[in-house]
Amino acid sequence: MPNRVAIVGIGQTRHQNTRLDVTLPEMINEAVRAALADAELSLKDIEAVFTSSMETFEGIYLPDHGGAAEIGTYMKPGFKVGTGGTSGASVVVEGFSMVSGGLYDLALVIGFEKQDCGETTAAITAAATPIWGKGAVTGAIGEFAKQALSYLETSGAKEEHAAMVRLKADRGACLNEYSHLKLGLKSIDEVLQSGYLVWPLRMLDFCPQSSGACALIFAEEKKAKKISKKPVWIADVEVVHQEPFRAGTFGDPTGKETYTQHVACERLYKRNGITKPMKDIDMAELYEPSNWEEMSLYEHFHFCEKNEGWKLVEQGVTEIEGAFPVNPSGGVIATNPIGATPTIRVAEAALQIRGDAGGHQVPKDIKTALATALGGPNWTVLTLLKRSL
Amino acid sequence: MAKKNPKEKNTKEKEPEYISVQFDAPRKYRWSTGKYMGRTYQEAKENKKLVANRCVKCKEVLWPPVEVCGRCKVEAGEDWVELSQTGTVMQYTYLVYPLWDPHYGEKFANPYPNAMILLDGGVYIRHFLEETDQKKLKVGMRVQAVWREDHERGEGTADVKYFRTIDS
């Protein structure tokens, strides 16, 4: 039997675009300290450290290699995980697997990204190889722009619905002390008047470039119960990778391609007896780089039928005080230190279960929460969290 | 009159000056096109053709051409087919804000819209559209490949300059 694993420590930096006051390891150190303080542990207690970020986003390979002391890896086992946009969730799966498998009883898991170093869109565009896709330079934004166009043309959603998603995110972000963009947006018109970035995506339809880190401490059952009064259990994880869509990276106009979100959530739901996701799960933290993608994800994860994601928005179901809150933290569209972003999804979902989310704590009692990650050629990583197993 | 809080005076702190280092990183790389994509490069350069291999098992056209069919998990084989050079635009977008292009080393907004085109016969290609008038762009528009001059070719699918609108 694998060991049960709980999150016993959660820490993150205040995310912002520019952190010229610290080096990358110093920035990571802030999250590590916060997680250790939350768990009332010291670095001596940690047996292994796993980290993740987007390769080359800071302009060099292994941007963290000078920071063993600050990060906590000094003389400890562990490694860095890189799976593109899902990295920060892959590292959660990695830490979970190691503790669950009994290799370590207490592990530190870190996602980080310091985007103020330079040209991260150039780094992400470099994922198109020189021999295939050269010159197709639209970064991740161009892919989400095409996804938005497909959704706009086929689902029945209007631009107003995307604007409503953006307003929901901003309301959450303004209540979240760690979030990056706190815009205080008041009206749909305000969103619809923002300029185009990559048509039909507007500046306010897409996530910012943030710098920040998020650290989690995982413990096996006995230690978890000793360390924490409110351990949050990792009930299950799922990882699905895919070839690049022949039909599109984040949207499929043919209806013939297999979405990794479908495969991943169907496997996860089946193993955990989830038949009605919006009833059996209490809330979700989704990886939504754009407001249009959030509506698509509602459908991909079977919260609703196809082409009905925008109806959930219209009905306010996914608002903080709604029946099924999604991204009360403000989500990725407000805060995106990419390597840390999926780790933050898990952290935020865990905080909701503990009741410790602060200003953006949802009013409803959260016993089960889903954290998702997306990246690369439509890869998906899921983490299911529970208050008790 | 309300007394000023003495603390208030000190809230306007001087902006700290942080020291940072700037660097450029010009680098040269060489990528081999490999056993399968090399064929696609050759056919584009010499014959202005788009070719791909089909999986021996499921008969799906593999695009880009590859050694292993991911679905069947078998060696895909040498069953080469020529793709159509006409197709239908299924998704498109265009840059409004200039982005850094690592392959060209400069920041620019490519004037040509970026599209996902369904080639007749069922294979998708991600490419550019000649039409830059945004009002004329439509999902469903018919397009045809326009090839670069002989001396310009040698860059795989980039040997097609863009896709030109044709009457449907």
Q: Is A114 helix (H, G, I), strand (E, B) or coil?
A: strand
A292 occurs within a structural domain:
no
Indicate the average pLDDT of chain B: 87
Give the chain B residue nearest A123 (alpha carbons): B102
Number of separate domains in chain A:
1
Element (H, E) at A389: none
Angle between helices A291-300 and A260-271 (to 10 degrees): 50
A104 occurs within a structural domain:
yes
Which residue, among B53, B93, B124, B153, would best test binding to A if mutated, counting the most A CBs under 10 Å from its CB?
A: B93
How many Cβ atoms are within 10 Å of A360's Cβ, its own excluded? 23
Sheet containing B61-62: order of strands = B61-62, B51-54, B79-82
pTM for the predicted model, two decimal places: 0.91
A381 occurs within a structural domain:
no
- The answer to whether residue A56 scores a pLDDT higher than 60 is yes
Q: Does the domain formed by B84-168 have CATH 3.10.50?
A: no
Q: CB of A183 within 8 A of CB of A170?
A: yes
Please indicate whether residue A143 or residue B153 has the higher confidence score (pLDDT): B153
Indicate the average pLDDT of chain A: 93
* CATH code, domain carrying A71: 3.40.47.10
For residue B7, name the pLDDT band (cuts at 50, 70, 90).
low
pLDDT at A374: 93
Interface contacts A/B by beta carbons within 8 Å = 117
Q: Of A380, A351, A353, which Cα lies nearest the Cα of A249?
A: A380
pLDDT at A248: 63
Sheet containing A5-12: order of strands = A80-81, A48-52, A106-114, A211-220, A5-12, A232-240, A379-386, A368-375, A283-285
The minimum CA-CA distance between A207 and chain B, rounded to whole Å, is 15
- Between CA A112 and CA A11 the distance in angstroms is 12
Give the chain A residue nearest B19 (alpha carbons): A20
Tokens of A322: 């709604």
Nearest by CB to A131, which of B20, B91, B156? B156
**How much is the average pLDDT of A98-108?**
98
For residue B1, name the pLDDT band (cuts at 50, 70, 90).
very low
Could you say which DSSP state residue B78 is in? S
| Phi-psi map region of A94: left, alpha, beta (phi>0 left; psi -120 to 50 alpha) | alpha
- Between CA A317 and CA A308 the distance in angstroms is 12
Quick: pLDDT tens for A199-225.
Answer: 899 999 999 999 999 999 999 999 999
What's chain B's Rg over C-alpha atoms? 25
pLDDT at A249: 66
- The answer to whether residue A62 scores a pLDDT higher than 80 is yes
Provide, as residue numbers in chain B, all residues whose Cβ is less than 8 Å from the Cβ of A149: 91-93, 139
β-pair partners for B33: none
Prior bond of A337 cis (ω within 30°): no
Nearest by CB to A136, which of B37, B114, B118? B114
**How much is the average pLDDT of A362-366?**
98
**How much is the average pLDDT of A118-132?**
72
Q: Of A85, A134, A207, A141, which Cα lies nearest the Cα of B102?
A: A134
Structural domain that includes position A33: 5-119+209-227
For residue B103, name the pLDDT band (cuts at 50, 70, 90).
low
Please indicate whether residue A184 or residue A60 has the higher confidence score (pLDDT): A184
Provide, as residue numbers in chain B, all residues whose Cβ is less than 8 Å from the Cβ of A126: 102-103
pLDDT at A245: 62
**How much is the average pLDDT of A55-71?**
86
Share of chain B above pLDDT 90, in %: 54
Lowest mean pLDDT among A167-176, A272-281, B110-119: B110-119
Lowest mean pLDDT among A29-38, A196-205, A306-315: A196-205
| Highest averaged pLDDT of the listed ranges A110-114, A146-150, A244-248 | A110-114
pLDDT at A378: 82
Give the chain B residue nearest A258 (alpha carbons): B71
Tokens of B139: 């999902």
How many Cβ atoms are within 10 Å of B12's Cβ, its own excluded? 7
Give the chain A residue nearest B105 (alpha carbons): A122
Please indicate whether residue A133 or residue B1 has the higher confidence score (pLDDT): A133
For residue A61, name the pLDDT band (cuts at 50, 70, 90).
confident
pLDDT at B10: 55
Lowest mean pLDDT among A380-384, B143-147, B158-162: B158-162
**Interface contact A248-B25, CB threshold 8 A:** no
**Helix, strand, coil share of chain A (percent; to 5):** 35, 20, 45
Q: Is A170 helix (H, G, I), strand (E, B) or coil?
A: helix
**How much is the average pLDDT of A312-320?**
98
Lowest mean pLDDT among A33-37, A98-102, A198-202: A198-202
Q: Of B109, B21, B88, B14, which Cα lies nearest the Cα of A24?
A: B21
pLDDT at A377: 75
Domain boundaries, chain B: 30-83, 84-168
**How much is the average pLDDT of A26-55?**
96
For residue A90, give Cα distances in angstroms to A94, A159, A267, A375, B15.
6, 33, 17, 11, 39
- Between CA A355 and CA A10 the distance in angstroms is 13
The minimum CA-CA distance between B95 and chain A, rounded to whole Å, is 5
Quick: pLDDT tens for B41-62.
Answer: 999 999 999 999 999 999 989 9
Q: Is A248 on the interface with B (CB under 8 A)?
A: yes
**How much is the average pLDDT of A83-94?**
96
Could you say which DSSP state residue A222 is in? H
